[in-house]
Structure 1
Amino acid sequence: MKLILILLLISFVLSTNSTLKIKGLDWWQQEVIYQIYPRSFKDSNNDGIGDLRGIYQKLTYLKSLGVGCIWLSPILKSPMADFGYDVSNFREIDPIFGTMDDFDMLIRKARKLGLKVIMDYVPNHTSEKHEWFIKSVERIPPYTDYYIWRDAKYQNGKRYPPNNWLSNFGKSAWEWNEKRNQYYFHQFGVQQPDLNYRNPVVFEEMKNNVIFWLDKGIDGLRIDSVDYLYESEEFLDEPPSHVDGVSAEEYAYLNHTYTRFQPENIALIQTWREVFDRYSARGSTKFMVTEAYGKAEEVIKFFGISKRLGAHFPFNFLFITNVNKESNAIALRDIIQNWYKHMPHYGWGNWVIGNHDNPRPATRYGHFLVDGLHMLQMLLPGTAIVYNGDELGMEDTFIRWDQTVDPKALNAGPLKYQEFSRDGCRTPFQWDDTENSGFTKSLHTWLPVNPDYWRVNVKSELKNKKELITHLEIFRELVQLRKNIVFQRGDLNLYVLSNWVLAVTRSFNDHATYAIIVNLGSEITISNLYEKRPSLPRKMSVVIPSINSNYLKGHIINTNSIVLRPKASVVLTTSEEDWDIKPNIITHEDDNYKIY
């Protein structure tokens, strides 16, 4: 009987009618995780680049959003060939962002505000400027085999790489080093040599770096590119993908059967999870999330296999990789079902619609669909991970070739750079309508500010007239709504009301039932939810409308004839009394945000 009382039932009523039982929810399951790209968030010293003190200044804004955890993209010592993803020292803060004292100060203030802090850990490779690589080139023990070195192949007196493996940034993944007279392997840029995890000393070094940051008091790590950590020991050529229109130097030209998703990657993450759990036993849970793009059945293995736990969850990128402007309601339903279908019984869901590596949601799906996607992201079972600026509906900035700084785009050249560039989604955060959007007082920013900053910014969306709805207002109310027990522990039902209209309902015991209706199409729709779920009342009230829905909070809607404009969406409830959302009211005064 006691066991039954401590177990919470979440019933996902999907095509398989599967049921998942979980224990009481931990902080990482309840809170929204907010990703900060430090270079672009807030510049405190007016050099045109964001920094830790800038983040410190804006912590109260983040608190006012209702998020419970901030995730910092790379801030460690780096030559910045790939803007922090080429680490030259895993235990130092890069001076561009500040000092270790600045980091400690940020952690202390975040803790006072009740915010958790996690940070990026980039374990697949280091910078070529790292002491380890410099000594490895010189064959100085024990660094000789810290990286993956191979002899050249020779044919008719000409030197060739060991095999056909390609870099994620394009061209060969092998770079010749004259001093060592060998090739080194790099899955990403030539300045980012891959570590050799088959060397037990490297394995321990990288695990000890994890321990260092857990000792510093962070609440967790986001482990970057976990699908690349190991490569096949046989070094065989990879087979062609036969993808149309892809050149022989582009990464997509090959199927990466020997360089991605090797079983050893999962074993490594399982070993690190044991470290996280030891620290978690001392108090609050230390959280580990992994990043890998791939099929659900591949990515989900990072939850752990063979009865050993891996990550608390691997990022779910299906809304990024499998959804576009032409995706209909059936496609979205199938994507949602597919994740839960492959997720292990002990797993926990999560939803990502934007990050620093992909065009922003407002760019990919259109400005008016942003609210509907946030409704799904926030109100589906699982954790929501949000990229800074998406709460405002920020769009990608067009970056000319002469302004391009992303190495992935630069490698593609001036004819194809826009296809590969990540610069557009990394431009400065838009705080207000002053020069450079309040991001900096410098005349120049490391990337140009979006020209629409005068209308899309925190200040304007907060000071908008009360009768107008903004993306920011909707976002904050969704964050509060998801704290309701229905969304924390309730069931899930998915309904395709028409080819372009998806409905989601959430219920829990005797609490109010909620429905999310999203019109993905380009025409006005009239949908009948009552027909799909007759247990619902004939009328429900609007809890949260999208900016283009033509509804206001409290409007009563007939569930058998729900009218939605193109790309519009609404959250409905069966009981207004159960809606107890009281988002914080914040004011904008000289970059200080006050919480009342």
Structure 2
Amino acid sequence: MFKVTSFLWLFVFGCSSVSSELIYNGLSNSFEPDWWQSEIIYQIYVRSFKDSNGDGIGDLNGIREKVPYFKSIGVGAVWLSPIFLSPQNDFGYDISDYKEIDPIYGSMADFERMRDEFHKNGIKVLLDFVPNHTSDEHEWFQKSIQKVQPFTDYYVWKDPIIDQQGNRTPPNNWLGVFNSGSAWEWNEERQQYYLHQFQVKQPDLNYRNPSVGEEIKNTLLYWLGRGVDGFRFDAVNYLFERKDLADEPKSNKIGFLDTDYDSLIHTSTLDQPETYEMVGVWRQMLDSYRTSEKKTKFMMVECYSPFDKTMRYYGNQSSPGAHFPFNFMFIGTFDQQSNAPKVHNIIKSWFEGMPNGMWPNWVLGNHDNARVATRSNPLLVDGLHMIQSLLPGTQVTYYGDELGLIDTNVRWDQTVDPAGLNVGPYRYTKFSRDPVRTPFPWDSSYNAGFSNSSHLWLPLNSDYWLKNMEEESKYKSNLKTYRQLSKLRRSPVFVKGDMHLYTLSKWVFGFSRSFYDHPTYFIVVNFGSEIEVIDLLKVRDTLPLTLKVKISSINSGYITGNIIHTKFVVLRPKAALVLTTAKTNSNS
């Protein structure tokens, strides 16, 4: 489906080399995309979206109230952070019952009303599913401690190593992601260690026990029966560990303590061959699930893995894995120093790396990483959304990024994220994810319209009085740009058209989309800190002498409908434009 062709090197104004490359040949006119290929997937951090009952925590009824907002920004599917019964030690990623809704978020009846409201408006509902571990308060774990069958081996239990002095030590050197220390915890009652790759209160399930796989499949079927449209699978690359429990080698990374997770290379605990097989089993089950609607049941998987191992989660055409693994390249490799060749290579590498026939996706932010406006520059948000929205593939948006929100300053005394709490007050700012999980600002009223509570679970960003949904709906803003892009991306040019990538200068990146006799679109983004003048006729001499501005970033100095000379496209620092060959009086 995707084909890479050779480089063509050109020059602009004789001062900088420009690369033009056909990356994607496009699709046939008869191609009809599946819903997950054409729709925007919007991640909702449930605790922070809308509080309906005044307890300071977002809930399902609050989300249901906002369905018109999702329609207004062109969202076709919502992905909810975990809503299952949980002690909330890791805010839902520690599940004590996979088949119950946590009362913090509402009831099963609330879930069903929310689901029905979304479905009535043509929006799919995806659940965040946590397959690697449960809470230590889950019934399975409590019975596993007591060796009650069939739960005895539902978790990874191992005997201690006794050293020469008779001291008890863990089975190996594996480290926990969050707890800054061993990934093994001694259980006095069972007289064995259990594995927890995350928190102590999140014991790892033992997928080498076939009964565990059956339990998880039955849980997925339960929610499919409840009308959900698919799942995001959390931390799938942790599912299996090496049988021989081999120690992991030192990474020798600078700035990490020996007890920090990143001090090791995780050869024994990540991306094991059996993990890919399990992902394939889940995909096969979802594909075989049929309802009267016969709509695809979707799966996307999270794996912060090396590039080649990430690509393996796609599977292949004869043995598919996930519909896609998340593309974290803009999260993991793009920063304030990134230039046009870097962005060119980020995009090219994903297309080159995908197995044949697979579908790309583009992710700028999520609940585990600094917001895109903070990682890059607030003035680049529109340009990055132009790239994300108008490249071939599925767009995944983290709540609030459409407003251009920045990270909230969360003090140590306000910190609740275990990843921050576990490392203490002197290192928490490096590890805590609280700054990206704060409440959504709806308006400039009390608590930004999020809640009428006197205490919120996390503080609002202090600029909520200006940076909120209501205010941004009034003037040229990140939100208005996002809405324009969500409409434009439905055009056949962006659903089916081909794509060229252009490195127009060291700091100006561009790409074009074309499809048969439809207008051609050029997207240009200046990642630099100086004004640039670009001659697009140098890279595509078939273009007309003038182009029309279809969408412009808030800092560009242009508005929709402006006419620009193709030889002299002036880009302010961090500015971005969507240009079209459509006639001036055309609505294309």
Shorter chain as denominator, the TM-score bin is: over 0.9
Distance 1:10 1:174 in 2: 44
> What is the aligned partner in structure 2 of residue 279 from structure 1?
289
Please identify, of 11-20 and 428-437, the stretch whose mean Cα deviation from structure 2 is larger. 11-20
Q: Which of 157, 163, 169 pairs up with 1:160? A: 169
Note the residue ranges of structure 1 that are not aligned, 5 or more in a row.
1-8, 582-596
Could you say what secondary structure the match of 1:172 adopts? coil
Could you say what secondary structure the match of 1:338 adopts? helix
Which runs of 4 or more aligned residues in structure 1 lie more than 2 Å from their structure 2 counterparts after TM superposition?
9-24, 576-581
> What is the aligned partner in structure 1 of residue 224 from structure 2?
214
Q: Which of 351, 374, 377 pairs up with 1:340? A: 351
Q: Which of 412, 415, 421 pairs up with 2:426? A: 415
1:418-457 counterparts in 2 under 5 A? 418-457=429-468
CA deviations over 1:258-297 (Å, ceiling 9, x no partner): 1001111111111111111112575111111111112332
Distance 1:573 1:399 in 2: 43
Q: Which of 486, 491, 503 pairs up with 2:493? A: 486
1:460 partnered with 2:471 = yes
Distance 1:482 1:288 in 2: 22
Note the residue ranges of structure 2 that are not aligned, 5 or more in a row.
8-20
> What is the aligned partner in structure 2 of residue 294 from structure 1?
305
1:302-317 counterparts in 2 under 5 A? 302-305=313-316, 307-317=318-328
Contact 2:24 2:500 in 1 (8 A): no
State the 1:302 CA deviation: 0.9
Instruction: State the structure with bigger RCO (CA 8 A, min sep 6), 1 or 2.
Output: 2
**Aligned-pair Cα RMSD in Å:** 1.5
> What is the aligned partner in structure 2 of residue 592 from structure 1?
none
Q: Which of 158, 170, 173 pairs up with 2:183? A: 173
Over 3 Å counting, the alpha-carbon distance change for 1:21 and 1:257 in structure 2 is farther
Q: Which of 90, 93, 103 pairs up with 1:85? A: 93
> What is the aligned partner in structure 2 of residue 391 from structure 1?
402
Distance 1:528 1:580 in 2: 25
User: With structure 1 as the length reference, what TM-score do the two structures score?
Assistant: 0.93
State the 1:576 CA deviation: 4.0
Distance 2:551 2:169 in 1: 60
User: With structure 2 as the length reference, what TM-score do the two structures score?
Assistant: 0.94
CA deviations over 1:308-342 (Å, ceiling 9, x no partner): 11111111110000100101111110010110011
Q: Which residue identity lines up with residue 563 of structure 2 in the other structure?
A: I
Distance 1:542 1:11 in 2: 29
> What is the aligned partner in structure 1 of residue 11 from structure 2?
none
1:419-568 counterparts in 2 under 5 A? 419-464=430-475, 469-568=476-575
Q: Which of 38, 55, 59 pairs up with 1:47? A: 55
Contact 1:14 1:494 in 2 (8 A): no
Q: Which of 187, 190, 198 pairs up with 1:188? A: 198
Q: Which residue identity lines up with residue 478 of structure 1 in the other structure?
A: L
Distance 1:576 1:356 in 2: 42
Q: Which of 316, 321, 333 pairs up with 2:332? A: 321
> What is the aligned partner in structure 2 of residue 258 from structure 1?
268
> What is the aligned partner in structure 2 of residue 6 from structure 1?
none
Please identify, of 87-96 and 166-175, the stretch whose mean Cα deviation from structure 2 is larger. 166-175
> What is the aligned partner in structure 2 of residue 126 from structure 1?
134
Over 3 Å counting, the alpha-carbon distance change for 1:408 and 1:49 in structure 2 is same
Distance 2:298 2:537 in 1: 41
1:577-596 counterparts in 2 under 5 A? 580=587
Could you say what secondary structure the match of 2:464 adopts? helix
Q: Which residue identity lines up with residue 263 of structure 1 in the other structure?
A: P
Could you say what secondary structure the match of 2:162 adopts? strand
Q: Which residue identity lines up with residue 149 of structure 1 in the other structure?
A: W
CA deviations over 1:182-208 (Å, ceiling 9, x no partner): 110011111100000000001100111
State the 1:420 CA deviation: 0.6
Q: Which residue identity lines up with residue 115 of structure 2 in the other structure?
A: I
Q: Which residue identity lines up with residue 359 of structure 2 in the other structure?
A: W
Q: Which of 351, 364, 370 pairs up with 2:375? A: 364
CA deviations over 1:158-213 (Å, ceiling 9, x no partner): 22111010111131111111111111001111110000000000110011111111
Matched residues, number: 569
Distance 1:84 1:332 in 2: 35
Q: Which residue identity lines up with residue 166 of structure 1 in the other structure?
A: L
Identical amino acids, percent of aligned pairs:
52
Over 3 Å counting, the alpha-carbon distance change for 1:381 and 1:306 in structure 2 is closer
CA deviations over 1:325-366 (Å, ceiling 9, x no partner): 101111110010110011011100100001111111111111
State the 1:307 CA deviation: 2.4
> What is the aligned partner in structure 1 of residue 159 from structure 2?
151
